[in-house]
Chain A
Amino acid sequence: MAPPRHRDRGFSRRIQYGLFFGYVAAAAGIVAGLALILIARFDPLAFEGIRGLAIDVTAPFSGAGRTVARGASEVGSEFGGYFGAISENHRLRQENADLRRAIIAAHSAEMDNKRLRRLLHAIEPTAQPVTVARIVGSSLTGDRRYATLAAGRADGIRAGMPVRGPDGLIGRIAETGQHAARVLLVTDGGSSVPLRVARTGEAALGEGRGDGTLELRATTLGGQAFRRGDLLVTSGVGGVYPPGLPVAVVVAASGEIGSGRPLADPAALDFAAVLPEVAIAPPPPAPIGAAH
């Protein structure tokens, strides 16, 4: 096939002007696009109105199909579960008894804890969720890891608020529409959460890597900071995230660097609670992930 000769064919002034205008518009558009990217770099919340509108428009469709998608993924595990039911029942009974004992121990520890905190006058207000809503989808293309939440500004959600699921921290609100919002997952490359190793109390930082895991960095030098299976919880340092939320489990560790798997798997979760931003955040709502 010969090359198409459409762009410079003919002597018609009208067509030639039309082509010329097209190129001018495209070049101007590229400049405008670069300007938009620069704006996104320095003010991530610019254009939240129009972006929120897009979330509002797409969220209902995702929400409608979500139950089907979940149902399909659950069928497999239901079948598998049927056959192992008896042995699993025994195992669970055993586990239940162990946990009962552990709970009693935990209760007494909690009582001690409360008493000691009262002594120290360090009573932390427990955060009441702003709202609880369904997770209806996530961005499957593109390099940012977002999930879509079926609640927005109308429910009191603002950009920057932390979001948790039943198992742990999911992420942080990135943008809001009127009735839907985008959650920046903790695994996004732009997310970093101050953490604490639950076993030792050592401080660490969990940065998303964009491949479903977190990179963990101990902030104290020397020694083996993490062990496989360590639980990491939010430390609450710097505000934003309330302290004590479970975030991740260490899956690999070497020295001060570790790799963590987030506890709240957005693929499996249905509901999420949006928590108020902890008050000691820096004055303007910190631009999400603007730090580099």
Chain B
Amino acid sequence: MPPPDFYEPPSRTRLWAIPIGSTLVGSALAAVPIVSQIHILPPFGLMMALAWRLRRHEMWPAWIALPLGLADDLLGGAALGSAMTLWTIAFLAIDAIDRQPTWRDYWLDWRIAAGILLVCGVGQWLIAWFTGGGGLFWPVFPPIVFGILLFPAAAHFCALLDRWRLAR
């Protein structure tokens, strides 16, 4: 009788599908069946993408934000290319921060995420304005603040998913 296999790695599909799937589900939350005059929900797709990127530095190549952002644009109804561009710039910025020899901890990750949520939120508004939208500027901020406060929860959820992803 052969000895039992002590470590059988999880399947490759499971390894890549869970991060991407959870990000897509986050983006698809824009389609939950509530009709509202103002936007109230934070950008869950971006929050999940950031949580995965900050948790697993090596998992994704630099270009992964392109397809994820495109999916977010399609699901959320923003102009094509807006999340695509902003997310990719954000991920490159995280790469640049990774090169800095600073001490990394939970708080720094949160601050990075907060900065990116702010920049992407304002950037989305500018792109919406450029492509014919516009309107008042202040409604941009409640979802951003909401997103920043909820980011630790997203990171925690991501950690739970990650444990499940790597489980035998």
Interface residues of A (CB under 8 A from B): 1-4, 6-8, 18-19, 22-23, 25-26, 29-30, 32-37, 39-41, 44, 47, 50-51, 54-55, 58-59, 61-66, 68-69, 135-148, 182, 185, 187-190, 208-212, 262, 265-267, 269, 287-292
Chain A interface main SS type = mixed
* Nearest-CB residue, chain A, relative to B71: A54
Q: Which residues of B contact A146 (CB under 8 A)?
A: 77
Query: Is the pair A211, B99 in contact by a Cβ cutoff of 8 Å?
Result: no
Say whether A54 contacts B74, CB under 8 Å. Answer: yes
Residues on B with beta carbons closer than 8 Å to the beta carbon of A137: 31-35
Decide if A289 touches B81 in the complex (CB within 8 Å).
no
List the B side residues contacting A47 at CB < 8 Å. 80
Asked if B33 and A63 sit within 8 Å, CB to CB, the answer is yes
Known A47-B80, A211-B138: A141·B33 in contact at CB below 8 Å: no
- Cβ proximity bits B51-69 to A, threshold 8 Å, 1 near / 0 not: 0000001100111011001
- Tell me, in angstroms, the Cα distance from A65 to B32 when the chains sit together: 8
Q: With the chains together, A144 CA to B99 CA distance in Å?
A: 36
Q: How far is the CA of A1 from the CA of B106 in the complex (A)?
A: 9
Say yes or no: B81 contacts A209, CB within 8 Å: no
Query: Nearest 10 pairs between A and B by C-beta?
Result: A189-B135, A210-B135, A36-B81, A212-B37, A33-B85, A189-B134, A22-B62, A289-B132, A54-B74, A25-B63
Option from A36, A143, A262 in Cβ contact (under 8 Å) with B84: A36
**14 A-B pairs, CB-CB below 8 angstroms?**
A3-B101, A29-B66, A37-B82, A37-B127, A41-B130, A41-B132, A65-B32, A138-B34, A140-B29, A190-B132, A190-B133, A210-B135, A265-B37, A290-B132
Are A37 and B79 also in contact (CB < 8 A) when A3-B101, A141-B41, A210-B135 are?
A: yes
| Chain B positions within 8 Å of A139 at CB level | 30, 39, 76-77
CB distance from A35 to the nearest CB of B (A): 7
Interface centre among A62, A147, A287 (most CB of B within 10 A): A62
Q: Which residue of B lies closest to A208 (CB)?
A: B135
In chain A, what residue has the closest Cβ to B27?
A141
Q: Which residues of A contact B66 (CB under 8 A)?
A: 25-26, 29, 32-33
The residue on B at minimum CB distance from A140 is: B41
* A66 to B81 alpha-carbon distance, docked (Å): 29
B75 cross-chain contacts in A, Cβ below 8 A: 54, 58
CA A245 to CA B101, docked complex, whole Å: 63
Given A25-B62, A26-B91, answer yes or no on A144-B102 (Cβ-Cβ < 8 Å): no
A30-B88, A148-B31 are known contacts. Are A18 and B37 too (CB-CB below 8 A)?
no
